[in-house]
Amino acid sequence: MTDTPESTRMNMIQAINSAMDVMMDRDPDIVVMGEDVGYFGGVFRATAGLQSKYGKTRVFDTPITECGIIGVAVGMGAYGLRPVPEIQFADYIYPALDQLVSEAARLRYRSAGEFTAPITVRSPFGGGIFGGQTHSQSPEGIFTHVSGIKTVIPSTPYDAKGLLIAAIEDNDPTIFFEPKRIYNGPFDGHWDRPTQNWSQHPAGDVPTGYYKIELGKAKVVRPGEALTILAYGTMVHVALSVIAEAGVDAEVIDLRTLVPLDIETIEASVQKTGRCMIVHEATRTSGFGAELSALVQERCFYHLEAPIERVTGFDTPYPHSLEWAYFPGPVRIGEALKKIMKDA
């Protein structure tokens, strides 16, 4: 799994921090920038210690303008640097859309490769933390719709570090969404139960040195025969917990990278199980689940024994007090499970 024998327990924040640390040490062209990321080390502490180690010209606070942060990152990329900007919450990424969609994602194509944007945009996303509508959204579907940009979402500390290193080394712009609900530990979807932390989870054992997980490769986190569940981020853990409680032998696939997607792993699994459930926290209409559903239907139609189920957040803004009514938790997944397994 790794070329580094040494490993230690890390939560997802520490793993992400370690990825940047390892990469900044290896490559003097990597810079980290964003609101509050410098002296303070980020509102989630993901960049803690980096400024004191690598200096203010490589790790620095920025003005509060997401458009400016990404625009500046594109210019730094054109110079030859490899910027890793942080957008403090995914909900704040919209002012940067033009710079991401029309500039970073299109620069290689429009300049026939003269200029590229080797940028990794880190941003905490997703809800379940009582963040209300401006600290909880899952906008990955906006970016998967954009040609020229990659979208990566880890679900464990081990994957977070390996994927972030791969994203930073990648020469194309990558959106790296960090599921903030599981920064400290996996979440089983039961908000009323005690939280777990990564120290008890095998994927909380993270090599201290360099390793990477290839982008575009999903992971079968639980092999099974009864149905295939496609999920990413927080929802991987929720799905695992629901099927364990229901005693269903599901194959759970953690997509890890949405674009480029690991279609082979998905196809092989659905063709084996004949059933497919897609779970994401983002709103339903035109969500990434719609794309997954279409792909599975196109490629596995004659293997399907039941309609594909999509379990998602509702098409509302992310609510505050009714957060758990929005969240596609154990009840919603459980109902979908009954439906898809009805004739099994």
Partner 1 sequence: MASDRVPAHLKPNLPPLSLYVPEPKFRPGDTVDFTQVAIPAAGETRRPDTADRADSFTDLAYQMVRVLDENGQAVGPWNPRLSPDMLRAMLRSMALVRAFDERMFRAQRQGKTSFYMKCTGEEAVAVAAAFALDYEDMCFPSYRQQGLLIARGWSMVDMMNQIYSNTADRLHGKQLPIMYSVKEAGFFSISGNLATQYPQAVGWAMASAAKGDTRIAATWCGEGSTAEGDFHSACTFASVYRAPVIFNVVNNQWAISSFSGFAGAESTTFAARAVGYGIAGLRVDGNDALAVYAATAWAAERARTNQGPTLIEHFTYRAEGHSTSDDPGQYRSAGEPTAWPLGDPIARLKDHLIAIGEWDEERHAAQDKDLAEQVKAAQKEAEANGVLGHGLHQPLDSLFDGVFEEMPWHLREQQAQMIAEETASGRPWARK
Q: Residue 107 and residue 294: Cα distance in Å, rounded?
A: 29
Q: 177 — phi, psi (to 5°)?
A: -90, 125
Type of residue at 253? I
**Is residue 109 within the footprint of partner 1 (CB under 8 A)?**
yes
Beta carbon nearer to partner 1, 186 or 289: 289
Beta carbon nearer to partner 1, 115 or 314: 115
Q: Residue 228 and residue 220: Cα distance in Å, rounded?
A: 10
Binding mask 271-310 for partner 1 (x = CB under 8 A): ----------------------------------------
Q: Residue 156 and residue 10: Cα distance in Å, rounded?
A: 10
Determine whether 135 is an active site residue: yes
Three-class secondary structure of residue 59 per DSSP: strand
Beta carbon nearer to partner 1, 172 or 281: 172
Beta carbon nearer to partner 1, 5 or 63: 63
Cis bond before residue 260 (omega within 30° of 0): yes
**Is residue 59 within the footprint of partner 1 (CB under 8 A)?**
no
**Is residue 321 within the footprint of partner 1 (CB under 8 A)?**
no
Three-class secondary structure of residue 225 per DSSP: coil
Output the DSSP codes for 267-293: HHHHHHHS-EEEEEEEESTT-HHHHHH
Under DSSP, the state recorded for 216 is T
Binding mask 110-149 for partner 1 (x = CB under 8 A): xxxxxxx------------------------------xx-
**Is residue 103 within the footprint of partner 1 (CB under 8 A)?**
yes
Binding segment (CB under 8 A) for partner 1, from list 56-64, 175-183, 310-318, 332-340: 56-64
Binding segment (CB under 8 A) for partner 1, from list 103-111, 247-255, 281-289, 303-311: 103-111
Beta carbon nearer to partner 1, 15 or 31: 31
Residue of 19, 261, 278, 292 that binds partner 1 (CB under 8 A): 261
**Is residue 107 within the footprint of partner 1 (CB under 8 A)?**
yes
Beta carbon nearer to partner 1, 150 or 212: 150
**Is residue 226 within the footprint of partner 1 (CB under 8 A)?**
no
Beta-strand ranges (E) seen in the chain are 7-9, 30-34, 59-61, 82-86, 120-125, 150-152, 174-179, 205-207, 219-222, 227-231, 250-254, 257-259, 276-283, 309-313
Residue of 135, 201, 237, 280 with catalytic role = 135
- Pick the closest to residue 178 from 71, 42, 2 (CA basis): 42
Question: Would strands 150-152 and 257-259 be described as parallel, antiparallel, or unpaired?
Answer: antiparallel
- Taking residue 29's Cβ as centre, other Cβ atoms within 10 Å add up to 14
Give Cβ neighbours of residue 231 (< 8 Å, ≥ 6 apart).
238, 239, 252, 253, 254, 255, 278, 279, 280
Give the residue carrying structure tokens 């999903």.
218
Binding mask 171-210 for partner 1 (x = CB under 8 A): xx--------------------------------------
Q: Which residues are catalytic?
A: 135
Site for partner 1, rule CB under 8 A: 31, 57-58, 62-63, 65, 67-68, 70-81, 83, 95, 98-99, 102-103, 107-116, 147-148, 150, 170-172, 216, 259-261, 263
